[in-house]
Structure 1
């Protein structure tokens, strides 16, 4: 099966893709294009999947660069192909020949590009990373390389949607304690619980940061098991582990 890759017109001619789980070598609960080296999947299958992604991104396997994601606001500056994975949740570069690859399974994969300056970025933004400023930090790191946030575009890829993201009252109250305006990202759910809009939070933070344009592709990872891995869906199903989707961008 061939790879199925989602793209956005907003990122123009820059090479990018939100890869679905279709077209991979993994089997069982990981069936498809599992690119998570931290999963319990067979390492040979994961490496083959990542090699297929590198080929699709037209870079060498060691030029598909990633980070050890820790739900932080930290950003790594990538200067060339490397197999090292710094502890961070975003990457930026102005170097051709490398693909920045972010892993997700419900959290937001966010791809950035200032086409005029030739600077790109990629971020992993769950609720914690988004609140702590990983999106704003990515824009700042891009500007340090010569980008202009007023000319930068960003696309949020497949993420868990508000309909599928049920949270408890403690989660809701913690958000409102940080900023009462955060109530806009919640709707009332069943039995005193709430539904949280993670992509809505991401878009709000990006627009508040002064980005030129931002959009969400509209794909819900929880709702479509044929296309996407989902940590929350796996948890609800009582499965032992889950695959990781990869989202990439390259100059």
Structure 2
């Protein structure tokens, strides 16, 4: 009897893991797909994917869109997210900090975190410049491509960092490879300085700034960032860092349960 219960519980847990994998896959792909396409791309049995997709459709977590049986994230997720945000004051504090940074600097301000072993922009406020500098919110980006990445892994040992970041993520957008040893040197320098800035690896016209938003242990739970045109970023480097560090200090002193939002 106990063995049967354990087996059933294990099956349900695996089903939940697979359901979350489907949702996360669609989030990263940012397009509607057929269940058989999802199964093929995540390497899962078609039968289990069809079963889970139907369950998620019945509960509004997925919705049909685009025709031909394609599915995508459902509106129920929006309501769940809205309820989550309404429960925490931190999101409002974060929005206020980004608005203040964008007003003070006229540059694009971002609040960034790790999503698994990838970097993602969680919140963003565009600056007052006539041209647009932005990143898609929620898009997963390799950690070594980002200024924030140096800070977000700084609490780990070098060995832990190299184990955490997939080897392929050290290949940069242009095809060249970033030496992991050079990356680790930059991580330790960012840890000592309390910030990291560099000319963007992804966009050759911008300069990126990142400072940590720390948790109670002093680790970077998130970062506040500015993305500026390269010449303006270099010319205003000290002022921009002062603005970021002031905003990050305020967020770092938010209650612990709020920072976990």
TM-score by length of 1: 0.28
- Would you tell me which structure has more strand in proportion to its own residues? 1
Larger radius of gyration between Structure 1 and Structure 2: 2
Instruction: State the structure with bigger RCO (CA 8 A, min sep 6), 1 or 2.
Output: 1
Higher normalized helix content (fraction of residues): 2
